[in-house]
Structures are given as C-alpha cells and as structure tokens.
Amino acid sequence: MPIKTEPFYLNLGPQHPSTHGVFRLRVQLDGEVIVDVEPIIGYLHRGIEKLAETRTYTQVIPLTDRLDYVASMTNNLAYCLAVEKLAGIKVPERAEYLRIIFSELMRLANHFLAIGAFLNDCGALATPLIYMWREREKIVDLCEMTCGQRLLFNYMRVGGMSQDVPVEFMPALKKFVAEMPKFIGEYEQLIKQNEIFLARTKGVGILPREMAIDIGASGPVLRASGVNWDIRKKDPYSIYDRFDFEVPTGDVGDCYDRFWVRMREMRQSVRILEQAIGQIPAKGTVWADVPQFFRPPAGEAYGHIEAPKGNLGFYVVGDGSIAPYRVHIFPPSLMNVTALRDMAIGWKVADLIIIFGSIDVVLGEIDR
Amino acid sequence: MKFERYGMGIAKGMALTLKHLFRPPLTVQYPNEKLVRSKRIRGNELVWFPDRCTGCGTCTKACLQGNIILVTHHGEENKFIVDKFELDSGRCIFCGLCVESCPYDALAMGLEYECAKYRRGDTILDKEKLKLSDKHQPSAYFRPQFYAQLPEQSLLIYDRKEGGQKLTLFPLSKRKRGPGA
C-alpha cells in the first residue's frame, strides 16, 4: 500500500531576519529540499508612483529617497536625469562631478551592506558585517556633512545639486579614498579564502547566462553570470565616459561569483573616485537656476542609470503643468528577485537564505 | 570541494580579527558620550524667526506633506501679520524643502535629534514652541550665517589623534545608568 504524502509548506517571512525587509517566501518542501518557491511581495507598498502625481517635480525627489534606502542618492540621480531630459536642462560641470562622486560613494555603501549581510546569512555572524559597517559609517558621515542626513539624503535637484559641499569635505574624501584599498584588502583576507564560506557558496544557486538575460536581471547579478553589461559603459549618462574603469564579470553565476563581482566593483569605484577628485573644478556653480515650480513641456522622457543593484529607470510623463502626469519606476531589485525561484529549486532551506542574500534586494524598491 | 591545506583561509581571517583586538575602539557609550553632529544636520523641530517672517507662504507651498499651517491677516502698510504658524513634527519628513525655499531666511532646521514625545499632541509645534531658545538652536542647513557658531563635526575618517571623533562628554555626576539614562 502506497504511503499517502502531501507537500510541506513553509512560510519564510514577512518578519524574518534574513529576508532583508518585509518579504515573504512561500516555500514548498520535500523533506529539506526545495520543490517550489513563491515570492509574495507588497507588504511595503506605499504608492510612491501615485503620490508622485500630486507633487511638483521638486517634491518628488524626497519620495525617490524612499525607494532603495540603502543607496538613496542614486535614486535621486535617475529621477533628475529623466526630468532634465524632459525639460532640456543642462547641469553645471562641478555638479556633474559631485553627482559622480556621490553615486560612487553610494555604490560603495551599498556593497558594504550587501556583502556584510550576505556573509551574515552564510553564518559569519556579525564580525564581517560590523567591519564593513565601520567603513559605511565613514561614507554616511560624509553625506551627513554635505546634506544633513544619514539615510534619506534629498541632495540632488533637477539641474544640479541643492548646495555645494562644505570646505572640509574634500580633504576628508581624499583621506577616505586613499585608505580605502587597504580596507578592501582586509575584507579579502578575512573572507575570500575561508573554507567554510567557499564550501557553502561555490556552485550554489547557479544562474545561467541565458536565463539571466531572459529574465532581465541587471547589475552584479547579471555580471556574475558572465554578461559584460554596465550602463555606465554601454549607455554613458552624466559624464561617465570621461573615466577609466573596468567592468568585472564572473564565470559561472553562483553565489560566490556574485560576492566576488561586488568585491571587485568596489575597487573600480575607488578608481573612479580618485579620477573624479583629480578632475573636479575647484570653483563654480552647482545648480542651473531652475525655479521651484518650473513647468517642463508636455512629453515623456526615460532616464536610466547603473544603480548599485542594477538598471534603475524612471519614466516621466509631463503634461505641461508643475506636477508630473505619470512617474513609472523600473527597479532593479524586482527584476533580480524573479530569478530566485529558478536558482533555489533543488537546494536545501539553508541554501535558500544564502541565495536570497546574494541577490541583494531592498524591499522599498520592490514594493514602492 | 577539495582544498590543498584545509584551515589556512580561516587562519588568515582569524589573524585579522586578532589584529583588530589591539586597535582602539571606534564606538562610544551613547547616552553618556555623544558624537558631535554635522553643522548642516536636518534635525527635528524647526526654528522659526517671527521678526523675519513676512507671511508669504512659500514654505507651505514647498512642503510636500502639506504640513505647515499658516494663517495671516492684513496689517498696517498692507503687510501680512502671522496669526498662526503651526506644523506637526510627527508628520514632517525633514526633507528641508521649506528651509531651502524661504526667501527671507525666516525658517531653519533644528539641531535637536532626541525628540521623542509621550503624547501625539505634543508633536504639534506652534508659534511659541518654534521660537529660538537655549535648547532650540538652528542648524546651518541652507543657512551659512550660523556656520561659525556651531562646533566641528566628529568624523570617523580621522582618528582621535587627528582631531576626529570629538565627543560631548557629560560630567560623571550627571551620568545615569539603566534604561532611559
């Protein structure tokens, strides 16, 4: 007589320390092996796209901070690029360099948190996370010095930056950039050859190259699968064509590759920062004088950037009034998290946490 | 998975943690020691200067929460006289757009950051609570005239010998222990 069995369902989340926010996974298990994964999103929905329709173009910028709150300055940049394209505004030279500096600082800050939380999920409890937060704290200090807050910056404006950096910013940034390679070397020494870490991440959660392209993944997830795709190179926005840097890619697309791509990207960010510090004009205005309630012409524009998590796009439709008619946000985390099911099937529950941690999602961006 | 010499990677990592054991700490004991905040901090509780305010209402238009309530009437020489200037710091998101837009420098962000209240009604700030006082000081966010009077920010980038990580120390007699200290 056959034994009657039925699948076991496990609810991972929404309140779970390793789900990086209010994210719920409905996991179907056969013993400890994952048969199916169903992500359930929407717990952090705040209706930012709808709220943006009732705000003026300037007032949308604080809302975009609340998308990817780990690296919120890049969201400001993507939105401002879209509106500047719509209104035909040219940004001053110094502001362009400040934008580059801050978006690369944000990339560093995001990767510190991403790698630290990923190692925390792997079982390296708190030590690497706290080491990386020490450096993230320095970046946050720099941002606090410039724009007054540590998480939701609201610093960029349509047509430049809201205000110039204080005089003590540049020496501090130079010292930070000069000692950064030493710290990245420390992290590599700490974790790169660790046998437990290698055994748990090498070959786990492989995302093949074709599938990564098909699902529309972007950022380090796509590059770890061996696709050389970076919007900073392929569709240079702002002034990224003036800098010399490489785009690191992985070979197989497993969890280790995603970790290692982020690690090498941090070195490239430091390289861009060094060049930007050398090239930035010492004086000059940082804001093309855009009135507070300006009216871009009716039309539509799409601006996209290489955010730390991938391709972040803003589609802005204007109807000639002071408020946008429609703002659509194309978040990288939402595209990347769709790959989770195909990566996780066949692995065990403990590996699911690692695979999810290696994608590096922020729920503020997925749910909006 | 095979390794040539199992344990070498872990030993390398442990050597680094051992090195960190002898480094000076970067953290501070928060309620008793406090790091000096930035000059441009967008702290809680805005500061309002009634002698500079003309009642033009630019700040109310700039606020994306619709949070600032301003009621005026016409006075002598057709000037506005402010009857009511009120905002709810519980609804405020501290984006600083009102301070940025004020053409007469009549509004500034505050320096305070420990502004938890027991009652929801206490978060509403009226004309009296918004005025300048000893405990209610403006920050230099978009107000460069306050730069000189504010202390230097403590930065983790510089270590303590180089003048970073400046602390505001409370005298030992005033230090408390336990929750709510």
What residue spans define the domains of chain A?
A: 8-366
Q: Is the pLDDT of residue B83 over 70?
A: yes
Question: Is residue B25 predicted with pLDDT exceeding 80?
Answer: no
* DSSP 8-class letter at B95: -
Q: Is the pLDDT of residue B171 over 70?
A: no
From chain A, pick out residues whose CB is under 8 angstroms from the CB of B8. 193
* pLDDT for B51 beyond 70: yes
Sign of the CA dihedral A259, A264, A270, A273?
negative
Please report residues of B whose CB lies closer than 8 A to that of A203: 1
CB neighbourhood size of A4 (10 A): 5
CB proximity list for A282: less than 8 A, separation 6 or greater:
none
Query: What's the rounded mean pLDDT across residues A314-338?
Result: 90
- In chain A, what percentage of residues exceed pLDDT 70? 99
Question: Once rounded to an integer, what is the mean pLDDT over residues B103-115?
Answer: 85
Taking CB atoms and an 8 Å limit, are B97 and A195 in contact across chains? no
For A26-30, A215-219, A232-236, B156-160, which range has the lowest pLDDT when averaged over its residues?
B156-160
Calculate how close chain A gets to B173, using CA atoms only, in Å.
Answer: 31
Question: What percent of chain A is modeled with pLDDT above 90?
Answer: 11
- Residue A364: pLDDT above 80? yes
Q: Which of A210-224, A255-269, A286-300 has the lowest mean pLDDT?
A: A286-300
For domain A8-366, the CATH class is mainly alpha
Residues of chain B with C-beta less than 8 angstroms from the C-beta of A292: 58, 61-62, 101
**Inter-chain contact B40–A175, Cβ cutoff 8 Å?**
no
Residues of B in contact with A147 (CB under 8 A): 40, 42
Q: Does B96 reach chain A within 8 Å, measured CB to CB?
A: yes
Q: Which chain A residues touch B138 with a CB distance below 8 Å?
A: none
- For A6, other C-beta atoms within 10 Å of its C-beta total 5
Tell me whether 0.85 is exceeded by the ipTM. Answer: no
In this structure, of A130-144, A160-174, B158-172, the range with the lowest mean pLDDT score is B158-172
Parallel, antiparallel or unpaired: strands A310-318 and A324-330: antiparallel
- Distance to chain A for B51, nearest Cα, Å: 25
Any idea which residue has 């809680």 for tokens?
Answer: B44
For B110, name the nearest residue in chain A, comparing CA atoms only: A148
Q: Is the pLDDT of residue B180 over 50?
A: no
Mark which residues 266-325 of A lie under 8 Å from B by CB: 292-293
The pair of three-digit structure tokens given for residue A138, joined into one six-digit string: 């320095």
pLDDT number for residue A314: 92
Q: Judge whether residue B41 has pLDDT over 50.
A: yes
Residue A109 sits at the vertex; the CA angle it makes with A106 and A115, to the nearest 5 degrees, is 135
**When comparing pLDDT for B30 and A45, which is higher?**
A45
Q: Which residues in chain A are closer than 8 Å to B156, comparing Cβ atoms? A: 134, 137-138, 141
CB-nearest partner of B8 from A146, A191, A193: A193
Q: pLDDT tier at B165 (50, 70, 90 boundaries)?
A: low
B158 in contact with A, Cβ within 8 Å: yes
CB B72 within 8 A of CB B59: no
Distance from CA of A155 to the nearest CA of B (A): 9
Lowest-confidence region among A58-62, A222-226, A349-353, B8-12: B8-12
Tell me what pLDDT residue A315 has: 92
First-last CA distance in chain B? 52
Tell which wins on pLDDT, A155 or B134: A155
Q: Which residue of A has its CA nearest to B20?
A: A131
With cut-offs at 50, 70 and 90, classify the pLDDT of residue B56.
confident
Percentage of the residues of chain B whose pLDDT score is greater than 90:
0
Task: Phi first, then psi: give them for residue B64, nearest 5 degrees.
Answer: -85, -10
- Nearest Cβ partner of A191 from B13, B37, B142? B13
Tell me whether residues B101 and A292 touch, CB distance under 8 A: yes
Please provide the average confidence, as pLDDT, over all residues in chain A. Answer: 87
What residues in A contact B158, CB-CB < 8 Å? Answer: 172, 175
Question: Per the CB < 8 Å rule, is B8 touching A166?
Answer: no
| Whether this model's pTM surpasses 0.80 | yes
Our CA-based measurement puts residue A111 at a distance from the nearest CA of chain B, in whole angstroms, of: 19
Would an 8 Å CB–CB cutoff place B130 in contact with chain A?
A: no
